[in-house]
């Protein structure tokens, strides 16, 4: 028995170590490539053990710092505003739905629920947001479509309120003369921090990582978030490449260390998440489980 | 309860009922008010686009909008189904999602069982965090990571790995036949960490007494996994699987758009309904086929969600969405 258990134990460790390596190796290649000399990459490609290092790519990006800083500024702004507004309207709607004794709560709850089953898809959504609401090439494009609220989170919040907030607390608040608003913001929300953290965290990550809205609704580079910039740089460096091969190698392609810059910009895009990850990891894992319980 | 008591007693129910409904609603006005922003958002973001699905039956004229454009019968659908596009995107969407569902299930359950073997809490946490990491990054970053390996001139595979194995370099972004494997791998790489946490939570919830009794009876680890762990997490497996089957008509747009870098040569194995609709609408200006494909996806997708949920409901009412 003992040896058998030990074999299982060791095997599990071995498999998990391999899996962990598999998960981080791409990031290592990305990082090392970004600090490799351009000439080295042109002759030997992206490698884990280059012969020659260089920070040219980061120097190049530093010379374009205003572009990157602007994109980060927009990402931070959109993430902060989006997460806050999203959290607020999600819990307010969820709170209403949790009041099953309230007239109309079943109909309203169904209206939220139906959005989980059926959706109009990209074409009508695009036409409504661009033709009727005019959000193309505005910051609203990064904030509003699809990300601001989803029915799933509304139900997550509503279930939490229904199962966790003791009715007695609300009753006594009412007896003390606290209005519904006061009761909600002063009593219910402070008791709901776990679910607020979960929904806020998931929304925050969704906003931070979103490139989809920018791809669909933005053509103005001034409004690009960091993800849109990354997306664009991938295509632009491609474009320079194809152009330079089409015209025969020209000098402008040499100016920018394209192959390393590509990796450096990706590193810059991923570093904030990696730095923040240890801090929110615990809540994130909990959130996954909470979401799955009623999922 | 109030209405049920008052209604039978009073003959002119209409007026009285609405009156009493109003009376019952009145104390809740702050709550209705709080719900307004969310409901407006659902109207704009969900319900207007739903009604806009009729665009698939119209000849779109941007100036006249969705509701003003002239009717076009089934022409858009004829355009779509006359080409082989409809078949290819349906096939790809279903096959990829089918493979993803099965492989994610098998790998995540295996990883969850292994994580459960790790008694050292610190190590278990560490493994979990590292395996979950890919789930946290955007598909754009994933595309960069994939490019570092697959890039035709500079990629790690063509420069280092394949020569070391004595193989010729491969034009990864031009050869469609490799992409079913690449995309499946990337999907698993990105998502296993997430799903295995759900299964792990389910395994941790199993009463340890089962295992203690089994050990006393001399059951081997493998027998314990097969006879205790797997049967007891089967409800979770069924629910998660059926829910993903309900979503089988929706592809992960980022995976299929970003990771192959939108390479036209790869469409045969990378084009799914979502990328097709996107390209038709925003890159090719082929809104007729795009709107028809979108409609097709919404309706079939809806039916599948209902079916999947119906089955979940039959198995375990608690876990059904509705």
Q: Which residue of B has its CA nearest to A150?
A: B42
Top pLDDT among A67 and A214 is at A214
Give the pLDDT confidence score for residue B319 in this predicted structure. Answer: 64
| Secondary structure (3-state) at A53 | strand
Q: Rounded to a whole number, what is the distance in Å from the CA of A239 to chain B's nearest CA?
A: 12
Radius of gyration for chain A, computed over Cα atoms and rounded to the nearest angstrom: 25
Per-chain mean pLDDT for chain A: 86
Statement: residue A137 has pLDDT above 90: yes
CB A31 within 8 A of CB A53: no
Query: The tokens of A111 are what?
Result: 């209206």
Q: Which residue of A has its CA nearest to B116?
A: A12
Top pLDDT among A259 and A263 is at A263
Instruction: Check CB contact of B108 with chain A, cutoff 8 Å.
Output: no
Domain map (residue ranges) of chain A: 2-44, 65-251
Query: The tokens of B54 are what?
Result: 């009729």
Give the pLDDT confidence score for residue B167 in this predicted structure. Answer: 92
Spatial CA neighbour of B203 closest among B241, B172, B237, B176 = B237
b (16+ CB within 10 A) / e for A183-217: bbeebbbeebeebbbbbbbbbbbbbbbbbbbbbbb
Tell me the C-alpha distance between B260 and B265, whole Å.
10
Give the pLDDT confidence score for residue A246 in this predicted structure. Answer: 44
How does pLDDT run across A81-130, given as a tens digit for each residue? 999 999 999 999 999 999 988 998 999 999 999 998 899 999 999 999 99
Select from A11, A288, A295 the Cβ nearest to the Cβ of B197: A288
Tell me the C-alpha distance between B289 and B292, whole Å.
5
Instruction: Check CB contact of B45 with chain A, cutoff 8 Å.
Output: yes
**What is the complex's ipTM, to 2 decimals?**
0.89
How does pLDDT run across B225-256, given as a tens digit for each residue? 999 999 999 888 988 888 888 899 999 999 99
Count of H-run helices and E-run strands, chain B? 19, 0
pLDDT < 70 regions, chain B: 1-18, 318-322
Instruction: Check CB contact of B51 with chain A, cutoff 8 Å.
Output: yes
Class of domain A65-251: mainly alpha
How does pLDDT run across A48-83, given as a tens digit for each residue? 999 889 998 888 888 777 788 888 999 999 999 999
A123 with B149: Cβ contact below 8 A: no
Statement: residue A194 has pLDDT above 70: yes
CA angle, B216 then B219 then B223, to 5°: 150
């Amino acid at each position: 028995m003992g040896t058998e258990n030990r074999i299982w134990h060791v095997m599990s460790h071995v498999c998990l170590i391999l899996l962990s390596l598999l998960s981080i190796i791409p990031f290592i290649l990305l990082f090392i490539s970004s600090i490799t000399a351009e000439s080295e990459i042109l002759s030997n490609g992206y490698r884990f053990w280059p012969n020659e290092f260089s920070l040219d790519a980061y120097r190049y990006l530093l010379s374009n710092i205003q572009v990157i800083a602007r994109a980060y500024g927009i990402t931070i702004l959109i993430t902060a505003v989006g997460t806050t507004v999203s959290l607020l309207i999600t819990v307010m709607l969820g709170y209403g739905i949790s009041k099953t004794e309230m007239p109309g709560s079943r109909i309203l709850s169904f209206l939220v629920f139906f959005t989980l089953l059926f959706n109009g898809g990209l074409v009508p959504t695009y036409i409504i947001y661009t033709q009727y609401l005019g959000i193309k090439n505005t910051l609203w494009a990064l904030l509003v479509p699809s990300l601001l609220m989803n029915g799933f989170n509304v139900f997550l919040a509503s279930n939490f309120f229904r199962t966790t907030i003791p009715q007695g607390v609300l009753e006594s608040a009412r007896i003390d003369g606290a209005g519904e608003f006061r009761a909600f913001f002063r009593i219910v929300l402070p008791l709901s921090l776990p679910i607020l953290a979960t929904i806020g965290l998931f929304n925050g990550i969704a906003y931070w990582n979103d490139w989809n809205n920018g791809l669909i609704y933005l053509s103005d580079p001034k409004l690009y978030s960091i993800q849109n910039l990354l997306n664009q740089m991938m295509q632009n460096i491609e474009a320079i490449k194809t152009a330079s091969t089409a015209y025969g190698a020209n000098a402008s392609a040499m100016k920018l260390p394209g192959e390393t810059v590509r990796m450096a910009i990706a590193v810059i895009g991923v570093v904030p998440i990696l730095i923040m990850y240890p801090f929110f990891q615990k809540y994130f894992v909990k959130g996954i489980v909470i979401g799955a319980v009623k999922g | 309860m109030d209405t049920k008591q008052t209604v039978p007693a009073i003959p002119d129910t209409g007026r009285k009922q609405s009156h009493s409904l109003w009376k019952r609603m009145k104390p809740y006005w702050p709550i209705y008010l709080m719900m307004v922003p969310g409901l407006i958002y659902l109207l704009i973001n969900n319900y207007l686009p739903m009604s806009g699905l009729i665009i698939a039956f119209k000849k779109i004229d941007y100036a006249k909008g969705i509701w003003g454009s002239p009717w076009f019968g089934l022409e858009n659908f004829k355009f779509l189904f006359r080409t082989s596009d409809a078949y290819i995107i349906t096939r790809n969407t279903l096959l990829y999602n089918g493979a993803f569902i099965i492989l994610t299930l098998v790998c995540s359950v295996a990883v969850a069982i292994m994580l459960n073997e790790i008694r050292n809490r610190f190590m278990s946490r560490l493994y979990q965090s590292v395996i979950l990491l890919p789930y946290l990054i955007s598909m754009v970053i994933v595309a960069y990571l994939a490019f570092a390996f697959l890039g035709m001139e500079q990629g790690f595979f063509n420069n280092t790995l394949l020569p070391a194995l004595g193989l010729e370099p491969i034009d990864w972004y031009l050869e469609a036949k490799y992409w079913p494997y690449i995309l499946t791998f990337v999907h698993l790489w990105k998502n296993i960490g997430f799903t295995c946490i759900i299964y792990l939570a389910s395994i941790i919830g199993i009463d340890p007494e089962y295992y203690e009794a089994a050990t006393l009876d001399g059951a081997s680890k493998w027998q314990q996994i097969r006879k205790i762990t797997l049967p007891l997490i089967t409800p979770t497996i069924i629910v998660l699987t059926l829910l993903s089957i309900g979503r089988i008509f929706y592809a992960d747009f980022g995976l299929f758009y970003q990771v192959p870098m939108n390479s036209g040569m790869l469409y045969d194995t990378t084009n799914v309904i979502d990328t097709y609709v996107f390209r038709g609408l925003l890159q090719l200006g082929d809104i007729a086929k795009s709107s028809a494909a979108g409609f097709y996806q919404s309706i079939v997708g809806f039916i599948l969600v209902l079916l999947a949920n119906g089955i979940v409901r039959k198995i375990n009412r608690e876990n059904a969405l509705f």
